[in-house]
Amino acid sequence: MISVLLIGKGNVASHLHDVFLKADTIEVTQISSRNLENIPDANVTIIAVSDDAISEVSAKVNNNLVVHTSGACSIDELKNKNRKGVFYMLQTFSKGKEVDFKKVPFCLEATNLEDQKLLNKLAKSIGENIYEINSKQRKSLHVSAVFVNNFTNHMYKIGSDICKENKVPFDILQPLIKETASKIATLSPKEAQTGPAIRNDEKTIKSHLGLLSTEQQEIYKILTKSIQNGN
Amino acid sequence: MISVLLIGKGNVASHLHDVFLKADTIEVTQISSRNLENIPDANVTIIAVSDDAISEVSAKVNNNLVVHTSGACSIDELKNKNRKGVFYMLQTFSKGKEVDFKKVPFCLEATNLEDQKLLNKLAKSIGENIYEINSKQRKSLHVSAVFVNNFTNHMYKIGSDICKENKVPFDILQPLIKETASKIATLSPKEAQTGPAIRNDEKTIKSHLGLLSTEQQEIYKILTKSIQNGN
């Protein structure tokens, strides 16, 4: 049995609480980060709060092993006096939408082998994809995630705006969006690229630019140039 | 029975030939665009050649109803003397990868009701999602497709480059990529947005920029600004 204390009441903390409750080998307690006067002890204390609050909250926790869940923060952001670690799940968590933890990649970091084993065991109680990732690697994963998630979502946003502007249903594009995402499970993104930029089809590029707003044009041009540079 | 003549030997023509062969109500013939001396007659003649060749090839075809398959070209690009139309399938076709035509959106255009009905019937013989889309609408769909397909794929490419540079497996990001694509089936892209740009998390943005090449920084900055503008 592993005892887990969750500090925080946000999306990540709530989803973790729900899934730990279902695991036979885990005993879980959840408290708010606003009420840290009586902190129960636990084998692993998971601080799942906003990046800015990690330092302040962790300074108040005297438990043995204290980990945060942030992709952007180094392990050194933790200010507790005892052992430290990171329990980062690389997935988007939305309120009200159930998470399939079997598919979530767990990126774990610890400062000694015993803690690493404990975090691996904890992650295996709810998931399957476990990676040992240090703070520098995690930071690079986090910036990659901004490109493949936030910026990709912004491409969808612009596509949807263009459709709205021209009165065609955005839903026509949904199969293409799904196919684009599933293609790179078998092809590298470089091999999967198609379209006017990679073909250097100047006529089509010029005609597309005529349909766009100034900001959209700027984005279209810089991404076309970047595709053509092969970078 | 609808007789179909396919002109062209590329990806789109080959995939169409395969699926029409399986349809009971279709009789299909395929010829190369390089050999147009004896062109067989047909109810619908589909020119599936590169955008640049549509005008030249169509000028040589005297069949009754001649359509092209291009998302970027207007119906006026066809130079045949008889009736014209467009049979555009909004999906990426890769060599060797089977296409599920039941999921392909067919965007159809004709100049009269009878031809529109014939094209609808033809599309329904192999697919389910049929849209009547004029040349102006199709052009806007095509530029939207560049954003949600080509540019999104380039976001995957940059994410993969960052992973390679920092020696972490890109595969860790695959579940996030799939979730990002499937999320917008139920949420609008605007509602689905998360991350440092929309949160205006300057500390994380600054730290991300330090990890990127000059070109990647330029893209990161312009997309962050665009997300923050809400445009």
pLDDT tens digit sequence for A17-42 = 999 999 999 999 999 999 899 999 99
How many angstroms separate the CA of residue A227 from the nearest CA in chain B? 7
**Burial class, A114, CB count within 10 angstroms (exposed 0-12 / middle 13-18 / buried 19+):** exposed
CA-CA-CA-CA torsion for A145, A146, A147, A149, nearest 10 degrees? 70
Q: Which domains are present in chain A? A: 2-133 (3.40.50.720), 139-229 (1.10.1040.20)
Chain B residue with Cα closest to A214 = B231
Please judge whether B166 and A140 are an interchain contact, meaning their C-beta atoms are less than 8 angstroms apart.
Answer: yes
Cβ atoms B183, A94 nearer than 8 A? yes
Question: So what's the pLDDT on residue B116?
Answer: 98
Which candidate from A139, A150, A162 shows the least CB-CB separation from B143? A162
A208-221 pLDDT per residue, tens = 999 999 999 999 99
In which band, very low, low, confident or very high, does the pLDDT at B74 lie, cut at 50, 70 and 90? very high
Average pLDDT over residues B117-123: 98
Chain B residue with Cα closest to A165 = B140
Rounded CA separation B45/B136 (Å):
22
A167-215 pLDDT per residue, tens = 999 999 999 999 999 999 999 999 999 899 999 999 899 999 999 999 9
Question: So what's the pLDDT on residue B231?
Answer: 62
Residues of A in contact with B161 (CB under 8 A): 231
Chain-centroid distance of CA A26 in Å reads 24
In which band, very low, low, confident or very high, does the pLDDT at A231 lie, cut at 50, 70 and 90? low
Rounded CA separation B204/B224 (Å):
12
